[in-house]
Chains A and B, each alone.
Chain A
């Protein structure tokens, strides 16, 4: 088991958002988390990555045999958790190169590998820049400054490709993307799929899932997973919307 979430409860500003969420993910699996606005999808992503605004009030999360909730965000990242942000942040004056070289070397340190120098890093980053069709001066530019929405999302996937995480959490990565950007992001993600890398794809719409076919689909409503299934659940949602499933879950 890569990740095991048991009865997870979390709140923000004293408002309970997650109300007992369970989820198990094995290496290589792709899980989609869908649900209406306010269901707790982004909260789940943020809690797993360790954002301080959220307070975990119950339950536990086991990641590769360790208590994930005990770890600082940077330690979670070093151990292989990656969050692609709904709103990637601009950091003026910090170059992508300094940022990612520092991040990659932090991960390498964790793995007992030697640090990459500037030249090794450039070499390592090159084909990943090509894969995501990033601008050639990407590394010299400040992190996300002056980037379009699509470029920012691609930059996150580029970072994912560099860090080679074990669990990738995509938080509404498809929001605000046009069809070309969506395809580039999906290609980037698909290129990272492997037998030992798992994904949690948080999304409101099915369109990203047409490009990245998930193995499992979960519907999150009111802080709990109310229905799980295979890819066919995506089409069911597409046809009937969330209402039908929510109604069923409330009757149950």
Chain B
């Protein structure tokens, strides 16, 4: 929660604040619709006062921005990318492809959106501005967004993103695949999305965040903000794969609003970036809502992998499930923070949150904070967190059957990391996600060097 205080910030952070306000002004000149400009200016005022969070902020204690603020990422123009450059990122199963390059919608690289099924609309945000009251939509829930520093930054740099709507009673069978590819050094992809599912609508959305250049020297940032409204009895399934390059930053704030009897299933794979933070702000405001938020995160070298959920049960009979698993190697730092808040009238709430972590190195660190806050008296809620090393009895059991030690460790680690992906009901997508996880996990020899094991 942000408090409006004039805080002490370092000269470096101050410079960064000035830089992003300047970037915001550049956008105000370039995209000068008055209502959008007004939104950016409101965000600027907040940002100037709050600046970036520091370690003194409880929510940022383990996710240090000291390196981040030394980079001054710019909102640069879109570059040209060839279809062939993106081939490897697209799934093999049938999807409707939407491509963003450095945060800018790319019509050439995307499928023909006029050919979407009836009742499904996808527009670049820049087109949405021209719809009557379009921009008002975007700023409708500013107060929630303003509680998140990178939400404020997102409003300040608001330029492109997508507006996706599925009308009442429309079930879209083919998943929509959204790819953002970072191509430019020192660039910030600032993406603002709005997803609206009508009553009884169904949608599967697969998002992937990648960098053309995956080396550490390639510095770039992606800052996503999505507002997702899931109307009565609608079902929204979402898979987010974050696989950006080793020198990049990733921030994603998802504000999800569920109405009665709706379903929200979200899986996040946090694999890339030197620092990444993925946040769900879920409001289950209706009776008999179900949700599942799970994640599989892998950290190596000096990666900081942060994933957090904030789940509000405000009505009767809600079910929320969560499984978050981290595998951390080398000096990686994992951060998990989950809050299940059960309001007074949310009786019969069933909220389960589980966080399990596997440390492959003595230097790896996990910071886990699962929280419950319950004001109703007839609920079933649980939360737990466990962190450990690979069990050496498991390794020996596999070895005793002829499986080499390194392979045994891979099998055990892989099985550990895959479990959250089992919540993905579409078999093809699940397989695709598991292949990505396995590939990422086995990409480096890391595992074979592991010597520390535990009883």
Interface residues of A (CB under 8 A from B): 49-52, 72-74, 77-78, 82-83, 85, 88-94, 98-100, 102-103, 106-107, 110, 142-143, 159, 163
Contacts and interface: CB of A to CB of B under 8 A. Distances in A.
B412 A103 contact: no
Contact of B402 (A52, A74, A85, A143): A74
Please provide the 8 A-B residue pairs with the shortest distance between their CB atoms, ordered closest to farther: A93-B415, A77-B402, A103-B401, A106-B402, A89-B397, A73-B399, A78-B402, A94-B415
Contact of A77 (B399, B407, B412): B399
A124 to B, nearest CB: 15
Given A77-B400, A100-B401, A163-B401, 17 more contacts: A73-B396, A73-B399, A73-B400, A74-B399, A74-B403, A90-B394, A91-B398, A91-B412, A91-B415, A93-B414, A93-B415, A99-B398, A103-B402, A106-B401, A106-B402, A106-B404, A142-B415
A90 B391 CA distance: 10
B314 to A, nearest CB: 34
24 contacts: A50-B399, A52-B396, A72-B399, A73-B399, A74-B405, A74-B408, A77-B399, A77-B402, A82-B400, A85-B400, A88-B397, A89-B397, A93-B412, A93-B419, A94-B412, A98-B411, A99-B403, A100-B401, A102-B403, A102-B407, A102-B411, A103-B398, A106-B402, A106-B404
A119 B216 CA distance: 44
A49 B397 contact: no
Interface residues of B, number: 23
A93 B401 contact: no
Contacts of B394: 89-91
Identify which of A90, A91, A143 gathers the most chain B CB atoms within 10 Å of its CB: A91
Contacts of B403: 74, 99, 102-103, 106
Interface in B364-417: 391-394, 396-405, 407-408, 411-412, 414-416
Contacts of B412: 91, 93-94
B418 interface: yes
A110 B66 CA distance: 53
Contacts of B392: 52
B408 to A, nearest CB: 8
B405 A93 contact: no
Contacts of B398: 91, 99, 103
Contacts of A163: 401-402
Contact of B397 (A50, A78, A85, A98): A85
Chain B interface main SS type: helix
Contacts of A94: 411-412, 415
B419 to A, nearest CB: 6
A93 B418 contact: yes
A89 B400 CA distance: 11
A107 B393 contact: no
Nearest to B392: A52
A73 B400 CA distance: 6
A51 B401 contact: no
A99 B401 contact: yes
Contacts of B416: 92-93
B416 to A, nearest CB: 6
A93 B420 CA distance: 11
B397 A107 contact: no
Nearest to A98: B411
A51 B415 contact: no
Contacts of B397: 85, 88-89, 91, 143
Nearest to B401: A103
Nearest to B406: A74
Nearest to A49: B400
A51 B419 CA distance: 29
A116 B414 CA distance: 22
Contacts of B393: 89
Nearest to A95: B415
Contacts of A110: 402
